[in-house]
Amino acid sequence: MLCGAPALLRACVAPTAALAAALLATLARCALLEPGDAVTSALSPYFGTKTRYEDVNPRLLSHPESPQRDPELLAGSCTPVQLVALIRHGTRYPTAKQIHKLRRLHELLQDRGPGRADPRGLGDALTDWPLWYADWMDGQLVEKGQQDMRQLALRLASLFPPLFPRQNYSRLRLVTSSKPRCVDSGAAFLQGLWQHYHPGLRPPDIAEMECGPPSVNDKLMRFFDHCEKFLTEVERNATALHHVEVFKTGPEMQSTLNKVAAALQVPVNDFNADLIQVAFFTCSFDLAIRGVKSPWCDVFDTDDAKVLEYLNDLKQYWKRSYGYTINSRSSCALFQDIFQHLDKAVEQKQRSQPVSSPVVLQFGHAETLLPLLSLMGYFKDKEPLTAYNYKKQAHRKFRSGHIVPYASNLIFVLYHCENATTPKEEFQVQMLLNEKVLPLAHSQETVSFYEDLKNHYKDILQSCQTSEECKLPKVNSTYDEL
């Protein structure tokens, strides 16, 4: 891949004189890159939800637009008839909250008094390293994030040519969260498709495409904002993330704090886990957004990175996954929506009608994907992740960086099989996570008869109603009044 940093810089930083030097430094760095090289860091495997998609799928570094067909994908007498994809937005800017913390950290470094032993150490390199991020960026999709989506579109269209209409997009169905990074991801995906069929031509405005712009549906894509029980018991509950808070002051984190404070020559009492975490993420943002390796990456070694990865995973575990049942149960409506699309396609095929929505694309968040994967039973460790079992969890399944990097995607592929001898065999399903076949949670097989899959999840399909699941337990008001 060619070095894209200069173009990205133009797009995302005001060309002030103060930044000119850094721009030149970046250009110099880029000049050393060979095609196929990517700027990388030994910390990359530990960035959790801030992981670049290509760090999970390294082959994409050299072939970002050509799919690697998983050999487990069905072929031959089974033809894909529908694809329902749940897609996390592409690479994004830090949120305003993260940018504020980063600024505080920067001030802390600037405030270090004179009389330090090593006047030109890492702390000074960091003080001199420009703060690229401004408040307006607040979590928006970056150019690299649009590219993530365009390239994903190109790969999926090459992987499932019968499903992606060549002539027009009237049968594509797009749904998105209201967040601009998700809306923009949907638009970038469509542009990628256009590019696939009309190389070199400028894509039309999304509003002019037959499918129209993605339709916003937060009840579906941000169900966590609409579930009263989740909001009360987890999101707004100061004690729900107990293990996260305990780990922040535990021995593993303390050891990292001590090391970093010493390296930066800052009193350790000025530091805390939140500041350290934002420093760690800054290494990831500089890599993912701008393709540069910043001195923030030199602050940590891989032991520190593993501790910070665990901190991120702990939060995801307790807030979005197995920590509390409501975390995953709040995604039932989305799960059911996916199966309604599949049911409809099955019905239409059975009546020899064309499938009305061969491609359904749903754009959301890591917080959309994790609860759904948990609802389906994926990445569940024998023991919960706690503040006290960091060492024991070294080989855990629940590593958010492997599951939900930027642009992560969970795809249901429905097949119609010609040589079926019974009606049950006629429809089969495979699931792909980040373009690799995900064995079914119940059988560990790479493919399932559609009927068996529905049967396995019949509790969720039949007895999980959002209105019931998300209802708060009734307070006994009669009792209260007495």
Which residues does the annotation mark as catalytic?
89
* Binding range to ligand NAG, per CB under 6 A, among 19-27, 117-125, 230-238, 430-438: 230-238
Contact 199, 155 (CB under 8 A): no
> DSSP character for 141?
B
Nearer to ligand NAG, 236 or 395 (CB): 236
Using the Cα atoms of residue 166, residue 172, residue 176 and residue 179 in order, give the sign of their dihedral.
positive
- The one segment of 88-96, 120-128, 180-188, 416-424 that binds ligand NAG by CB under 6 A: 416-424
Candidates 110, 237, 272, 462; binder of ligand NAG (CB under 6 A) is 237
Q: Please tell me whether residue 269 binds ligand NAG under the rule CB under 6 A.
A: no
Q: Counting contacts by CB under 6 A, is residue 134 touching ligand NAG?
A: no
Q: Considering only residues 425-444, where is the footprint of ligand NAG by CB under 6 A?
A: 425
Pick from 233, 270, 298, 343: which binds ligand NAG (CB under 6 A)? 233
CA gap 310, 67 in Å, rounded: 31
Q: Is residue 76 within the footprint of ligand NAG (CB under 6 A)? A: yes
Which of 420, 451, 452, 456 lies at the binding interface for ligand NAG (CB under 6 A)? 420
Nearer to ligand NAG, 168 or 302 (CB): 168
Least distance from ligand NAG to the Cβ atom of residue 470, Å: 13
Cα(397)–Cα(55) distance, integer angstroms: 17
CA 221 to CA 365: how far, in whole Å?
Answer: 8
CB of 424 to ligand NAG, least distance (A): 9
- Of 318, 363, 14, the closest CA to residue 206 belongs to 363
Beta carbons within 8 Å of 438's beta carbon, 6+ residues apart: 378, 410, 431, 432
H/E/C letters for each residue in 165-221?
CCCCCCCEEEEECCCHHHHHHHHHHHHHHHHHHCCCCCCCCHHHCCCCCCEECHHHH
Which 154-173 positions form the footprint of ligand NAG (CB under 6 A)? 167-168, 170-171
Stretch of 79-87, 231-239, 258-266, 286-294 contacting ligand NAG, by CB under 6 A: 231-239
Determine, following the binding rule CB under 6 A, whether residue 445 of this chain makes contact with ligand NAG. no
Q: Which span sits near ligand NAG by CB under 6 A: 5-13, 234-242, 371-379, 400-408? A: 234-242
Amino acid at 380: K
Residues 398 and 436: beta-carbon distance below 8 Å: no
Q: How far is the CB of 102 from ligand NAG (least distance, A)?
A: 30
Contact 231, 330 (CB under 8 A): no
Report d(CA 241, CA 224) in Å as an integer: 16
Binding ligand NAG (rule: CB under 6 A), the pick from 9, 39, 240, 407 is: 240
State the Cα torsion 447-448-453-455 to the nearest 10°.
-160
The helix/strand/coil state of 347 is helix
Nearer to ligand NAG, 119 or 204 (CB): 204
Is residue 356 within the footprint of ligand NAG (CB under 6 A)?
A: no
Minimum distance, C-beta of residue 17 to ligand NAG, in the bound complex (Å): 51
Contact 150, 94 (CB under 8 A): no
Query: In the set 1, 216, 263, 417, which binds ligand NAG (CB under 6 A)?
Result: 417
Q: Helix (H) and strand (E) counts for the chain?
A: 22, 8
For the record, the structure tokens of 132 come out as 């690229």
Q: Is there a contact between 345 and 268 (Cβ–Cβ < 8 Å)?
A: no
Applying CB under 6 A, among 16, 269, 467, 478 the residue interacting with ligand NAG is 478
467 makes contact with ligand NAG (CB under 6 A): no
Contact in structure between 133 and 102 (CB atoms under 8 Å): yes
40 versus 79: smaller Cβ distance to ligand NAG:
79
Answer whether 364's CB lies under 8 Å from 182's CB: yes
The residue among 170 and 255 lying less far from ligand NAG, judged by its C-beta, is 170
Which residue lies nearer to ligand NAG by CB, 220 or 414? Answer: 414
Segment near ligand NAG (CB under 6 A), from 25-33, 105-113, 385-393, 418-426? Answer: 418-426
Where on the chain is the footprint of ligand NAG (CB under 6 A)?
Answer: 76-77, 167-168, 170-171, 210, 232-233, 237, 239-240, 417, 419-420, 425, 476, 478-479
